[in-house]
Amino acid sequence: MLTVSGLCKSYAGLAVLTDVTFTLFPGEAVAVVGPNGAGKTTLLKCVAGLEEPDSGLVELDGAPLRESDPAVRAAMACLLDDADYFPDLSVVDHLTLYAHAHGTPDVPGTVASVLQELDLPADQLPVTLSSGQRHRLGLASCLVRPRRLLLLDEPEQRLDHAGRSWLADRLTKEKASGTAVLFTSHDPDLIAAVADRQISA
């Protein structure tokens, strides 16, 4: 499904990614691990098309991945460090809009279920949410729409213990439903519970 081959990226002569190559299959989860500054987020950004690699290729379903391609946007749900929101749309408005925009069947039911699952205040505007709640909204925006590939940058961040358990369970279910998951993490428990393979950045 997702093929990354020979990916290289450097900033001002400092190599961050060197010849990264891997393949991600449907229903599989791959964890990108490594210390801070190793290039985990850069790898995810290159895969998502936010960063242009110096060399190498990222392909989705056999075609070069172009971030602005509607087909890519329909297949790929991302939670990276550039998450953004409409300041004047509430939590439930965001989720409803995303669901309609991606043609989710049974929008009210799906939105209500995700809201309950993530314990989000439906009527609040994003600017009034805590950083943890905002992170949950980012996760919710990925889960409220159809997806075949999940890209998550340290999804366990800002989640409490119960939240991390829920996340492990949810990602396991995502795999079971055929969704491919590529995520970075510093949480060994989450990696052990979800990842089928690990890549060192």
Partner 1 sequence: MTRFSLAALAERAVYLVVLGAIGAEAVASGLSGGSAPPIAEGVAAALTALCLVLLAKGLLGFGPLYAGAPARTWVLSTPADRGRLLRKHLAGAVAAGVGGCLCLGFAFVAVTRLTVAVAPWFAVWAAVGVVVACACVLIQSRYGSVPLVQRGLAVTAWLLAGTAMVADSGLDLVVPVPVALTCAVAAVWLARQRLGTMTRGRLSSGAELATATQASALSLDVTLFWTIVLERRARSLGRVRPAAIHGTRFTALIRADLARIRRTPTALLFWAALLAVPYGAAVTPFLPAIHVVAGFVAVDRLAAGLRVVSRAPALRRALGGSDRELALAHLAIPGVGAVVWSLVTLLVVPGVTPLMAAITTFGALAVVYRVATRPPLDYPTPVIDVGLFGPTPLGLILQLSRGPALLAGLALVQTAVG
Positions touching partner 1 (CB under 8 A) are: 48, 50, 67-68, 70, 73-74, 76-78, 80, 82-90, 92-93, 96-98, 100-103, 107, 121-128, 141, 145
Residue 41 or 168: which CB sits closer to partner 1?
A: 41
Q: How far is the CB of 45 from partner 1 (least distance, A)?
A: 11
DSSP character string of 36-92: TTSSHHHHHHHHHTSS--SEEEEEETTEE--TT-HHHHHHEEEE-TT----TTS-HH
Contact (Cβ atoms closer than 8 angstroms) between residue 156 and residue 167: yes
Residue nearer to partner 1 on the CB measure, 35 or 70:
70
To partner 1, the closest distance from the beta carbon of 198 in angstroms equals 26
Task: Answer yes or no: are the C-beta atoms of 28 and 196 closer than 8 Å.
Answer: yes
Question: Which residue's CB is nearer to partner 1, number 69 or number 117?
Answer: 69
The least distance separating partner 1 from the CB of residue 68, rounded to whole angstroms, comes to 6
| Residue that the structure tokens 């172009």 belong to | 66
C-alpha 65/C-alpha 4 separation (Å) is: 10
Rounded to the nearest whole angstrom, what is the least distance from the CB of residue 105 to partner 1 in the complex? 13
Nearer to partner 1, 153 or 187 (CB): 153
Q: How far is the CB of 84 from partner 1 (least distance, A)?
A: 4
**Closest C-alpha among 105, 199, 94, 71 to residue 142:** 94
**Residue nearer to partner 1 on the CB measure, 33 or 93:** 93
Amino acid at 86: F
